Amino acid sequence: MKKFLLLALLTSALTLTAQTDQRIYDIIDAVSPERIESDITKLANFGTRHTLSDTVSTTRGIGAARRWIKSEFEKTSSECNGCLNVFYQKDLIKKGANDRIVKDVEVVNVLAIQKGTKYPNRYIIMSGDIDSRVSDPTNFTDDSPGANDNASGMAGTLEAARVLSKYQFENSVIYMGLSGEEQGLFGGGGVAQFAKDQGWEVIGIFNNDMIGNITGVDGTISNVDFRIFSEPVPPTETEAQRKARRFYGGEVDGVSRQLARYVHKNVKQYMPEMNPMMIYRLDRFGRGGHHRPFNDAGFPGIRIMEAHENYTQQHQDIRVEDGIAYGDVLEHVNFEYAAKLTAVNAINLASIAWAPPAPTTVKIGGIVEPAAKFQWSKVDGAKGYKIYWRDTTSPTWDYSRYVGDVSEFILEGIVIDNFFFGVSAVGENGFESPVVFPNGIFR
Ligand SMILES: [Zn+2]
């Protein structure tokens, strides 16, 4: 009797340990609020990082800032036997490209690529922004510390590179600083085009834009709430895909939404103290961010950011008016919180970079039948597959079944009409790909 109990306990302990990976907890612990504070301080002290600002000075302007960012990535690389390939990607934007480009400017991004061991051409990306602005978007001389917008996202990206460069991944990871965000998302546009030209398979991008403010303009204070923005379906879909959606579903199941759900689920698993809020829209109302140009190119991409914004501390000339101190200055940034959101990124970069690719084809059947049926294309490196489903009104994949190393399965008793479904690939190490919503039908 005792023997059986012990065996049962042992088995359940083994099962439990198989559900989580200690390395993910180690990654969370390794993110340093002190290094993030030091980096945000350094970035804010470049005076202004406006895209059109000075590029010659060694202490002020966007030129000095990007050279420092590049040197930080290079320092990280030198501590992992050169595991990062660090370089500038740039495009000349001509005066008049829009109202905010008041002179010719070279928009320069900094990329650090950690090559994957098994799928080197597949990339999961974390980005922050180098540039900043004050009230007038064309004012490229006044002090514009941009401590939260977006030194916080940039510092988080530098820190994620330091932490994750201690590991090796099957897929490639890119850490990048983008410029020209405030002038019209030019840096993201440049890298998205570069990725297409290079033939990169982009698994997704986590755009971090403002990850350091915990005090909302409405007085709400929370150091655990944060938002994950994702658009419902890609803007690149065809008319045929749009029409098919009307009959087969998928209005809230585009590739970026699946990436958002992946992050949400992983955070609930590994950082239960946090409160991830999935926001079902591309971005804040009428506002922009650097994931958009990637979405425009057909790549999955989400925006990760604080939940409670303070508009008196964004895009503002530094001043006091009616007793309110305006300006995006250091004292408003909560470094512990920025570290938590950096950890959110790092654990999801790692989980996806350790996972096999998702099946490219997932077909669903079961019309007028008492069972839902699935067929999918197998992927190299998967130990098996997991079918997910949820009530049509639920935002999260609430039910799942691991079905092993097969390429088709029938869920008996589950009526196709009453749920939405998806399939993921699971690696030997337990890490999973994002869920794929069915992209084909069979009888
Ligand atoms: Zn901004």
Point out which residues pair with 404 in neighbouring strands.
Answer: 385
Q: What is the CA(109)–ligand 1 centre distance, in A?
A: 16
Q: What is the pLDDT of residue 226?
A: 98
- Token code pair at residue 432: 């999973």
Put residue 107 in one of left, alpha, beta given phi > 0 → left and psi -120 to 50 → alpha.
beta
Amino acid occupying residue 43: L
Collect the ranges in the chain with pLDDT lower than 70: 1-18
Q: What is the pLDDT of residue 19?
A: 78
Q: What is the CA(229)–ligand 1 centre distance, in A?
A: 16
| CB 261, CB 201: distance < 8 Å | no
| CB 370, CB 63: distance < 8 Å | no
How far is residue 211 from each of residues 36, 58, 217, 337, measured CA to CA in Å?
A: 11, 27, 15, 7
Q: What is the CA(28)–ligand 1 centre distance, in A?
A: 27
Helix (H, G, I), strand (E, B), or coil: what is residue 379? coil
Residues with beta carbon < 5 A to ion ligand 1? 149
Q: What is the pLDDT of residue 112?
A: 98
Q: What is the CA(150)–ligand 1 centre distance, in A?
A: 7
Q: Cα separation of 231 and 204, whole Å?
A: 13
| CB 232, CB 257: distance < 8 Å | yes
| CB 420, CB 374: distance < 8 Å | no
How far is residue 39 from each of residues 30, 316, 335, 431, measured CA to CA in Å?
A: 16, 21, 10, 31
Q: What is the CA(209)–ligand 1 centre distance, in A?
A: 8
Q: What is the CA(35)–ligand 1 centre distance, in A?
A: 23
**Strand ranges inside 218-261, DSSP E:** 225-229
Q: What is the pLDDT of residue 12?
A: 46
Amino acid occupying residue 214: I
Half-sphere exposure of 286 (CA within 13 A, CB side): 0
What radius of gyration do the chain's Cα atoms show?
Answer: 23
pLDDT tens digits, one per residue of 338-393:
999 999 999 999 999 999 999 999 999 999 999 999 999 999 999 999 999 999 99
Q: What is the CA(177)–ligand 1 centre distance, in A?
A: 14
Q: Cα separation of 234 and 241, whole Å?
A: 10
Q: What is the CA(298)–ligand 1 centre distance, in A?
A: 23
Contacts of residue 168, Cβ cutoff 8 Å, sequence gap at least 6 = 117
Provide the whole-model pTM.
0.95
- Token code pair at residue 414: 């589950």
How far is residue 67 from each of residues 45, 111, 130, 155, 159, measured CA to CA in Å?
A: 14, 12, 11, 14, 17
**Strand ranges inside 259-381, DSSP E:** 275-279, 301-306, 319-321, 324-326, 362-365, 371-376
Domains in the chain: ranges and CATH: 22-353 (3.40.630.10), 362-441 (2.60.40.10)
